[in-house]
Structure 1
């Protein structure tokens, strides 16, 4: 049996100094997958860009025994970092939450903050049952998302031009401009069938988009990116290659932008935007058309 870690209490002032100078551990803990806790937690942490965080998701914490295992990890992180961790939780079982609170951490209990006001407004007590969201696997929207993911994977990086008429969105742009992660996010979160196609030197030499794409001009969205940022991303993937050279990145970005603008394709700059922001802009553009 592992020895219990020593619990060290730190005054608030030292919390603040450590948070500003070092790395603070953040745990996203849930009785389900933890994706909701992680998504909301990321949105909160993004407001503190001067801080550095070590992130860890702990899913399926649906018993006091598993909560106690989490407590040990939280305490170990506190000892390692020299500052108490942050816990973002979406657990509904009060006993499991109480077990988690044995750790010395800043707790952001997203359900506790939301369920009480909802119960008061609706005049109905919530079930407080573990894993209620699991029932969505039986819903039509769940299966639509699965179908969209399969479609998006089959049409990633221009792998296939078949069934493009079924696509809701077709993203185009130079390699590493953010097409694949944005496509997958649209499919996973919203059930959007998103194909994507990389613009390559052959397209620039031909000076037009492939005919397979032009047939679906109304579904095209272009992603652009600053040449400097593109060179940084490509250098991480293929350091020292011609592919990552700044002059080549500058040529590809400019050629792609001119091509897309000439073809009347709406272009979104992905340089400083998150995947969530890119997806929101695309959804904003296509949903009015769908509703009409």
Structure 2
């Protein structure tokens, strides 16, 4: 029998992204459970902490099991305020922060974490420039400054080019373009002329015909574009093109954007 849904709170003095990322990485090890997730960011005062306690208490009263509360709160006073929350607290900084302090021989700053803020201004603006570049070069819309791209993602329409491009730009600050392989491109033996000079920077995506047909039907129902035979032909031709031109590629049908990005970075040795 499947256990009842368990309330989960990600509580942070910052954006909550770190708490979500680490907390969800732990929860992923328990696929038999259903979780109802809530993120509560910017908890940087006792007053805000008391509001969190009230919200968690409400969830605890409505459920058979105590909520899980993942914390990334650095201020000791706020953490103490949250110490008696009506849930199971998993403090994702406690202990680890002390270990890093000991290793570095220095005390952690009392300022709120800037990991997901502007922080290093140069790195932040590099990421913003990468996002602008990704938007301009999405789906082959622009070929301007294509030589500046660290990576060109190629694939038939609706194989996951855009979300992967945007993730790599925003998360890693990489200049990434993506280019669609159309009916005109796929019967050819060589890469399309626009991207052929950048073959060494290209990475291909594919998927299953069934998955591609399903996604395309949401965009253009009952069209040739979305038909299973058309999807199968395009994918087969794309994979042939990748192999002929020695373009590394992966199947996106069962992988998250994060997983695909990690494979691409490793394959093309783009990690900083």
**TM-score of the superposition, structure 1-length normalised?**
0.83
> By how many angstroms is 1:118 displaced?
1.6
> By how many angstroms is 1:226 displaced?
1.8
| Distance in 1 of aligned mates of 2:215 and 2:35 | 22
The runs of 5 or more residues in structure 1 that have no matched partner are 1-16
| Distance in 2 of aligned mates of 1:260 and 1:282 | 14
Contact kept? 1:199, 1:256, Cα under 8 Å: yes
| Distance in 1 of aligned mates of 2:34 and 2:196 | 45
Q: 1:198 and 1:48, CA in 2 relative to 1: closer, same or farther beyond 3 A?
A: farther
Write the mapping of 1:86-125 to structure 2, written as runs, cut at 5 A: 86-125=68-107
Q: Which residue of 2 aligns with 1:252?
A: 234
> Could you say which structure has the higher helix fraction?
1
Q: Which residue of 2 aligns with 1:265?
A: 247
Moved more, 213-222 or 59-68: 59-68
**TM-score of the superposition, structure 2-length normalised?**
0.89
Q: Which residue of 1 aligns with 2:19?
A: 37
The runs of 5 or more residues in structure 2 that have no matched partner are none
Write the mapping of 1:231-246 to structure 2, written as runs, cut at 5 A: 231-246=213-228
Regions of 4+ moved over 6 Å = none
User: CA RMSD for the aligned pairs?
Assistant: 2.4
| Distance in 2 of aligned mates of 1:256 and 1:184 | 22
Question: What do the CA deviations read for 1:85-117 (whole angstroms, capped 9, x no partner)?
Answer: 222221101222222333222222111131121
Moved more, 104-113 or 120-129: 120-129
Aligned to 1:203, the other structure's residue is in SS state coil
Write the mapping of 1:90-239 to structure 2, written as runs, cut at 5 A: 90-133=72-115, 136-206=118-188, 208-239=190-221
Contact kept? 1:185, 1:275, Cα under 8 Å: yes
> By how many angstroms is 1:237 displaced?
4.6
How many residue pairs are counted as aligned between the two chains? 272
Work out whether 1:59 is the aligned partner of 2:5.
no
Contact kept? 2:189, 2:244, Cα under 8 Å: no
Contact kept? 2:156, 2:234, Cα under 8 Å: yes
| Distance in 1 of aligned mates of 2:24 and 2:63 | 20
| Distance in 1 of aligned mates of 2:96 and 2:7 | 24
Question: What do the CA deviations read for 1:212-269 (whole angstroms, capped 9, x no partner)?
Answer: 1112111100011122232343345555444433333222211211122222211122
